[in-house]
Amino acid sequence: MNNLAKYREKNRAAWNEATTLHLRNPNNPLGRVLQGGCSLARVEREELGDVRGRRLIHLLCNCGHDTLSLARLGARCTGVDIADEAIAAARSAAAVLGLPVRFIRSDVYDLALDEHFDIVYVGKGALYWLDDFAEFARIVARLLAPGGRVYVYEEHSLLPFMLELDPTAYNPASGDLNYFHDVEPTSSVGLDYVGLSGEGTKRSYEWQWTLGDIVTGFAQAGLRIEFLHEWPFISSFKYWDWLEEREDEGAFHIPADKPQLPLSFSLQARRD
Protein backbone atom coordinates (compact mmCIF):
# COMPACT_ATOMS: atom_id res chain seq x y z
CA MET A 1 0.00 0.00 0.00
CA ASN A 2 1.49 3.37 -0.97
CA ASN A 3 1.41 6.40 1.33
CA LEU A 4 -1.68 7.95 -0.22
CA ALA A 5 -3.61 4.67 0.05
CA LYS A 6 -2.62 4.53 3.73
CA TYR A 7 -4.02 8.01 4.31
CA ARG A 8 -7.26 7.03 2.55
CA GLU A 9 -7.65 4.00 4.81
CA LYS A 10 -7.02 6.18 7.87
CA ASN A 11 -9.66 8.62 6.65
CA ARG A 12 -12.06 5.73 6.09
CA ALA A 13 -11.59 4.64 9.73
CA ALA A 14 -12.01 8.21 11.02
CA TRP A 15 -15.15 8.76 8.93
CA ASN A 16 -16.65 5.48 10.15
CA GLU A 17 -16.33 6.78 13.71
CA ALA A 18 -17.48 10.28 12.81
CA THR A 19 -20.57 8.96 11.05
CA THR A 20 -21.62 7.02 14.14
CA LEU A 21 -21.29 10.22 16.21
CA HIS A 22 -23.15 12.32 13.63
CA LEU A 23 -26.05 9.88 13.40
CA ARG A 24 -26.42 10.00 17.20
CA ASN A 25 -27.35 13.67 16.93
CA PRO A 26 -31.02 14.29 16.06
CA ASN A 27 -30.01 17.38 14.05
CA ASN A 28 -27.89 15.45 11.59
CA PRO A 29 -28.81 16.29 7.99
CA LEU A 30 -29.88 12.73 7.16
CA GLY A 31 -32.42 12.89 9.99
CA ARG A 32 -33.87 16.06 8.48
CA VAL A 33 -34.15 14.40 5.06
CA LEU A 34 -35.83 11.37 6.65
CA GLN A 35 -38.40 13.77 8.09
CA GLY A 36 -39.19 15.11 4.63
CA GLY A 37 -36.70 17.99 4.42
CA CYS A 38 -34.25 18.88 1.65
CA SER A 39 -30.59 19.27 2.60
CA LEU A 40 -29.55 21.16 -0.54
CA ALA A 41 -28.75 24.85 -0.33
CA ARG A 42 -30.84 27.21 -2.44
CA VAL A 43 -27.81 28.11 -4.57
CA GLU A 44 -27.33 24.42 -5.42
CA ARG A 45 -30.97 23.92 -6.37
CA GLU A 46 -30.92 27.03 -8.54
CA GLU A 47 -27.61 26.33 -10.26
CA LEU A 48 -28.24 22.62 -10.77
CA GLY A 49 -31.60 23.50 -12.30
CA ASP A 50 -34.04 20.84 -13.41
CA VAL A 51 -32.50 17.43 -12.60
CA ARG A 52 -35.56 15.34 -13.42
CA GLY A 53 -34.61 12.14 -15.23
CA ARG A 54 -30.89 13.04 -15.17
CA ARG A 55 -28.31 10.35 -14.41
CA LEU A 56 -26.48 11.89 -11.44
CA ILE A 57 -23.52 10.61 -9.44
CA HIS A 58 -22.68 12.22 -6.09
CA LEU A 59 -19.02 11.68 -5.14
CA LEU A 60 -17.98 11.69 -1.45
CA CYS A 61 -21.68 11.59 -0.55
CA ASN A 62 -21.30 10.81 3.17
CA CYS A 63 -24.66 9.51 4.50
CA GLY A 64 -26.42 10.39 1.26
CA HIS A 65 -28.60 13.23 2.55
CA ASP A 66 -27.90 15.39 -0.50
CA THR A 67 -28.08 12.37 -2.83
CA LEU A 68 -31.52 11.50 -1.47
CA SER A 69 -32.61 15.16 -1.71
CA LEU A 70 -31.59 15.13 -5.39
CA ALA A 71 -33.46 11.85 -5.93
CA ARG A 72 -36.57 13.52 -4.47
CA LEU A 73 -36.15 16.23 -7.12
CA GLY A 74 -36.32 13.49 -9.75
CA ALA A 75 -32.66 12.70 -10.52
CA ARG A 76 -31.60 9.07 -11.07
CA CYS A 77 -28.95 9.01 -8.36
CA THR A 78 -25.85 7.06 -7.41
CA GLY A 79 -23.85 8.00 -4.30
CA VAL A 80 -20.23 7.02 -3.58
CA ASP A 81 -18.34 7.22 -0.30
CA ILE A 82 -15.35 5.47 1.27
CA ALA A 83 -16.95 5.12 4.73
CA ASP A 84 -18.77 1.84 5.41
CA GLU A 85 -20.97 3.37 8.13
CA ALA A 86 -21.99 6.29 5.90
CA ILE A 87 -23.00 4.01 3.02
CA ALA A 88 -24.87 1.67 5.39
CA ALA A 89 -26.87 4.64 6.76
CA ALA A 90 -27.51 5.97 3.25
CA ARG A 91 -28.78 2.60 2.02
CA SER A 92 -31.12 2.17 4.95
CA ALA A 93 -32.46 5.75 4.53
CA ALA A 94 -33.12 5.08 0.82
CA ALA A 95 -35.06 1.95 1.79
CA VAL A 96 -37.11 3.82 4.42
CA LEU A 97 -37.90 6.60 1.93
CA GLY A 98 -38.58 4.14 -0.88
CA LEU A 99 -36.16 6.00 -3.18
CA PRO A 100 -34.35 3.91 -5.83
CA VAL A 101 -30.88 5.32 -5.12
CA ARG A 102 -27.76 3.17 -5.53
CA PHE A 103 -25.03 3.69 -2.92
CA ILE A 104 -21.53 2.35 -3.57
CA ARG A 105 -18.90 1.99 -0.88
CA SER A 106 -15.65 2.81 -2.60
CA ASP A 107 -12.60 4.98 -2.47
CA VAL A 108 -13.34 7.45 -5.27
CA TYR A 109 -9.88 6.74 -6.71
CA ASP A 110 -10.76 3.02 -7.04
CA LEU A 111 -14.26 3.51 -8.40
CA ALA A 112 -14.93 0.70 -10.87
CA LEU A 113 -17.92 1.98 -12.78
CA ASP A 114 -18.12 1.69 -16.53
CA GLU A 115 -21.07 4.08 -16.89
CA HIS A 116 -21.71 7.65 -17.92
CA PHE A 117 -23.65 10.35 -16.11
CA ASP A 118 -25.31 13.64 -17.05
CA ILE A 119 -24.24 15.26 -13.78
CA VAL A 120 -21.35 14.66 -11.40
CA TYR A 121 -22.08 16.47 -8.14
CA VAL A 122 -19.61 17.04 -5.29
CA GLY A 123 -19.02 19.49 -2.48
CA LYS A 124 -19.76 20.93 0.96
CA GLY A 125 -16.61 19.73 2.67
CA ALA A 126 -15.53 17.17 0.10
CA LEU A 127 -12.60 18.42 -2.01
CA TYR A 128 -10.07 18.73 0.81
CA TRP A 129 -10.30 14.96 1.42
CA LEU A 130 -8.76 14.40 -2.01
CA ASP A 131 -5.02 13.81 -2.14
CA ASP A 132 -4.64 14.10 -5.95
CA PHE A 133 -6.94 16.68 -7.52
CA ALA A 134 -5.70 16.22 -11.11
CA GLU A 135 -6.48 12.49 -10.94
CA PHE A 136 -9.88 13.21 -9.35
CA ALA A 137 -10.70 15.61 -12.23
CA ARG A 138 -9.77 12.90 -14.75
CA ILE A 139 -12.09 10.45 -12.94
CA VAL A 140 -14.89 13.05 -13.09
CA ALA A 141 -14.28 13.59 -16.83
CA ARG A 142 -14.43 9.83 -17.46
CA LEU A 143 -17.74 9.56 -15.59
CA LEU A 144 -19.39 12.27 -17.69
CA ALA A 145 -21.45 11.52 -20.76
CA PRO A 146 -20.81 13.83 -23.75
CA GLY A 147 -22.64 17.08 -22.92
CA GLY A 148 -22.65 16.21 -19.20
CA ARG A 149 -21.45 18.58 -16.47
CA VAL A 150 -19.74 18.54 -13.09
CA TYR A 151 -21.23 20.85 -10.48
CA VAL A 152 -19.27 21.74 -7.33
CA TYR A 153 -20.47 23.81 -4.36
CA GLU A 154 -17.61 23.95 -1.88
CA GLU A 155 -15.95 25.81 0.97
CA HIS A 156 -13.68 28.54 -0.42
CA SER A 157 -9.96 27.73 -0.61
CA LEU A 158 -9.27 30.85 1.51
CA LEU A 159 -11.50 29.68 4.36
CA PRO A 160 -8.79 27.83 6.35
CA PHE A 161 -6.80 31.08 6.54
CA MET A 162 -9.76 33.14 7.64
CA LEU A 163 -10.30 30.58 10.42
CA GLU A 164 -6.61 30.56 11.33
CA LEU A 165 -6.44 34.35 11.56
CA ASP A 166 -9.53 34.66 13.79
CA PRO A 167 -9.39 33.03 17.24
CA THR A 168 -13.19 33.24 17.56
CA ALA A 169 -13.70 30.81 14.65
CA TYR A 170 -14.34 27.08 14.94
CA ASN A 171 -11.08 25.72 13.55
CA PRO A 172 -10.71 21.95 13.87
CA ALA A 173 -7.70 21.65 11.53
CA SER A 174 -5.68 24.46 13.08
CA GLY A 175 -1.97 24.16 12.39
CA ASP A 176 0.68 24.89 9.81
CA LEU A 177 -1.30 26.09 6.83
CA ASN A 178 -0.20 27.24 3.44
CA TYR A 179 -2.57 28.55 0.82
CA PHE A 180 -0.79 26.40 -1.75
CA HIS A 181 -1.12 22.65 -2.05
CA ASP A 182 1.39 20.49 -0.22
CA VAL A 183 1.66 16.73 -0.78
CA GLU A 184 1.97 16.41 3.00
CA PRO A 185 -1.52 16.63 4.49
CA THR A 186 -2.63 18.56 7.54
CA SER A 187 -4.33 16.42 10.16
CA SER A 188 -6.79 16.70 13.01
CA VAL A 189 -8.74 14.57 15.47
CA GLY A 190 -12.43 14.88 16.26
CA LEU A 191 -14.73 15.06 13.28
CA ASP A 192 -17.96 15.51 15.22
CA TYR A 193 -18.90 18.84 13.67
CA VAL A 194 -22.57 17.82 13.83
CA GLY A 195 -22.97 17.24 17.57
CA LEU A 196 -19.79 19.08 18.65
CA SER A 197 -19.59 16.36 21.29
CA GLY A 198 -15.86 16.94 21.73
CA GLU A 199 -15.44 13.17 21.38
CA GLY A 200 -12.31 12.23 19.51
CA THR A 201 -12.18 10.27 16.32
CA LYS A 202 -9.11 8.70 14.81
CA ARG A 203 -6.75 11.15 13.14
CA SER A 204 -7.90 12.27 9.68
CA TYR A 205 -5.88 13.86 6.86
CA GLU A 206 -6.75 16.74 4.54
CA TRP A 207 -5.17 18.52 1.58
CA GLN A 208 -5.45 22.13 0.55
CA TRP A 209 -6.43 22.93 -3.05
CA THR A 210 -6.39 26.48 -4.39
CA LEU A 211 -9.14 27.75 -6.68
CA GLY A 212 -6.45 27.68 -9.39
CA ASP A 213 -5.73 23.97 -8.74
CA ILE A 214 -9.44 23.17 -9.01
CA VAL A 215 -10.16 25.16 -12.19
CA THR A 216 -6.92 23.98 -13.84
CA GLY A 217 -7.55 20.35 -12.82
CA PHE A 218 -10.94 20.29 -14.53
CA ALA A 219 -9.69 22.23 -17.57
CA GLN A 220 -6.71 19.90 -18.06
CA ALA A 221 -9.03 16.90 -17.74
CA GLY A 222 -10.69 18.21 -20.90
CA LEU A 223 -13.72 19.95 -19.34
CA ARG A 224 -14.88 23.44 -20.31
CA ILE A 225 -15.42 25.74 -17.33
CA GLU A 226 -18.86 27.36 -17.56
CA PHE A 227 -18.80 29.38 -14.34
CA LEU A 228 -16.92 29.98 -11.11
CA HIS A 229 -18.98 31.95 -8.57
CA GLU A 230 -17.70 33.08 -5.17
CA TRP A 231 -20.19 33.62 -2.35
CA PRO A 232 -20.21 35.50 1.00
CA PHE A 233 -22.07 32.58 2.58
CA ILE A 234 -21.44 28.94 3.38
CA SER A 235 -23.64 25.89 3.90
CA SER A 236 -21.31 23.19 5.22
CA PHE A 237 -20.86 24.58 8.74
CA LYS A 238 -21.41 27.71 10.89
CA TYR A 239 -17.72 28.41 11.47
CA TRP A 240 -18.42 31.72 13.25
CA ASP A 241 -21.22 32.26 15.80
CA TRP A 242 -21.98 35.64 14.24
CA LEU A 243 -22.80 34.30 10.79
CA GLU A 244 -26.49 34.83 10.05
CA GLU A 245 -28.46 31.70 9.29
CA ARG A 246 -30.97 32.00 6.46
CA GLU A 247 -32.97 28.82 6.73
CA ASP A 248 -34.77 29.34 3.43
CA GLU A 249 -31.36 29.41 1.71
CA GLY A 250 -29.71 26.64 3.73
CA ALA A 251 -26.74 28.98 4.21
CA PHE A 252 -24.89 31.07 6.82
CA HIS A 253 -24.21 34.63 5.64
CA ILE A 254 -21.68 37.29 6.59
CA PRO A 255 -23.81 40.12 8.09
CA ALA A 256 -24.26 43.13 5.80
CA ASP A 257 -22.27 45.46 8.12
CA LYS A 258 -19.12 43.31 7.93
CA PRO A 259 -16.64 43.04 5.04
CA GLN A 260 -18.02 40.65 2.45
CA LEU A 261 -15.43 37.92 1.90
CA PRO A 262 -15.75 34.70 -0.11
CA LEU A 263 -16.71 31.77 2.14
CA SER A 264 -17.75 29.34 -0.59
CA PHE A 265 -17.72 28.94 -4.35
CA SER A 266 -19.66 27.08 -7.00
CA LEU A 267 -18.26 25.85 -10.27
CA GLN A 268 -19.65 24.13 -13.31
CA ALA A 269 -17.61 22.50 -16.07
CA ARG A 270 -18.88 20.56 -19.07
CA ARG A 271 -17.69 17.69 -21.23
CA ASP A 272 -18.30 18.81 -24.83
Ligand X SMILES: C[S@@+](CC[C@H](N)C(=O)[O-])C[C@H]1O[C@@H](n2cnc3c(N)ncnc32)[C@H](O)[C@@H]1O
Decide if residue 172 touches ligand X (CB under 6 A): no
Say if residues 217 and 137 touch (Cβ distance below 8 Å). yes
Q: Collect contacts of 227-230 with beta carbons under 8 A, ≥24 apart.
A: 227/266, 227/267, 227/268, 228/265, 228/266, 228/267, 229/47, 229/265, 229/266, 229/267, 230/156, 230/262, 230/264, 230/265
Segment interacting with ligand X, rule: CB under 6 A, options 81-89, 162-170, 180-188, 209-217:
81-89
Q: What is the DSSP pairing of strand 117-123 with strand 144-155? A: parallel
Q: How far is the CB of 83 from ligand X (least distance, A)?
A: 4
Contact string (CB under 6 A) for ligand X, positions 2-21, x = contact: ------x--x---x------
Minimum CB distance to ligand X smaller for 110 or for 166? 110
Between the CA of residue 32 and those of 17, 28, 39, 81, 235, what are the distances in Å?
21, 7, 7, 20, 15
Decide if residue 62 touches ligand X (CB under 6 A): yes
Decide if residue 124 touches ligand X (CB under 6 A): yes
Give backbone dihedrals phi and psi of 16, rounded to 5 degrees, phi first.
-60, -45
- Which DSSP category does 179 fall into? S
Out of 40, 48, 56, 60, the residue judged to bind ligand X by CB under 6 A: 60
Out of 47, 107, 132, 230, the residue judged to bind ligand X by CB under 6 A: 107
Decide if residue 66 touches ligand X (CB under 6 A): yes
Decide if residue 81 touches ligand X (CB under 6 A): yes
Q: How far is the CB of 145 from ligand X (least distance, A)?
A: 21
In the complex, the residues that contact ligand X under the rule CB under 6 A are 8, 11, 15, 60, 62, 66, 81-83, 86, 107-109, 123-126, 129
